[in-house]
A = this chain, B = another copy of it.
Amino acid sequence: MTQLDRNSLRVTVGDVTRELPTVRVGSVGRVPLVEFIGDSEFTNAAAQAMLPLIPPGTEVLLTVVTNALPLTHEISDRSGLPYVVARKKRRTYMQDPLIQDVPSMTLGVAETLWLDGPHAARLKGKRVTIVQDVVASGGTARALARLVERAGGTVAGYLAAFKQGTSNLPLTYLQELPESL
């Protein structure tokens, strides 16, 4: 990882190199922006590199819309493990969804996760790994873990492409990104 200046951070995953733009976030300063969406080459390189980091015994992957969606699809495809996706809005078609709040560290506003009943059933009795693109505070990861438990599964571990911050989750990840530049 190479910091080019305050506006850009160079990251290499496998044989793919990207210059991540940085964006201003409140008074924190500039933070690097990871975008797997719209970049299938970078997504595939990260998925491939994450395969050996999947916790042993994992039977199902769980993620949440939107940014980690192509990444988790690709890890599922390459590992053969099925994946399940929580949503951030109620969908009209959901049947008996599990509803889980995510306390936000930065804004004090709770976000809500929705897991459709038929998808929750796919976690029951399974060892489930939480997959995310970037783990910062760990609040979303903890909310996903709570969904696993409420669905009758057990958490096998936490897997992310990037760690950015000081969460004390037992997380496996490819690289650590600076919190601000």
Q: Which residues of B contact A66 (CB under 8 A)?
A: 65-66, 69, 87
Asked if A21 and B118 make an inter-chain contact with CB atoms under 8 angstroms apart, the answer reads yes
CB of A39, distance to nearest CB on chain B (Å): 8
**Which of A70-78, A127-135, A138-146, A159-167 makes up part of the contact surface?**
A70-78
- Count of identical protomers in the assembly: 2
- Cα A118 to Cα B69 in complex, Å, equals 21
B38 A77 Cβ-Cβ under 8 A:
no
- Per the bound structure, the CA–CA distance linking A45 and B80 in Å amounts to 15
Q: Does A37 contact B (CB under 8 A)?
A: yes
A96 → chain B, closest Cβ, in Å? Answer: 13
**Does A43 lie at the interface of the complex (its beta carbon under 8 Å from any beta carbon of B)?**
yes
Interface of A is mostly: mixed
Give the contact-size bracket for chain A: 20 to 34
Partner of A73, one of B43, B65, B87: B43
Q: When the two chains form the complex, which single residue of B25, B40, B87, B119 contacts A76, counting CB atoms closer than 8 Å?
A: B40
Which residues of B have CB within 8 Å of A9? none
A73 near B76 with CB under 8 A, answer no
Q: Mark A104-147, 1 if CB is under 8 A from B, else 0.
A: 00000000000000110000000000000000000000000000
Closest Cβ neighbor of A122 among chain B residues: B38
- Whether a CB of chain B sits under 8 angstroms from the CB of A84 is yes
Closest to A87 in B: B66
List, sorted by A's number, 7 A–B pairs whose CB atoms are closer than 8 Å: A23-B93, A37-B65, A38-B82, A40-B82, A69-B69, A70-B70, A73-B74
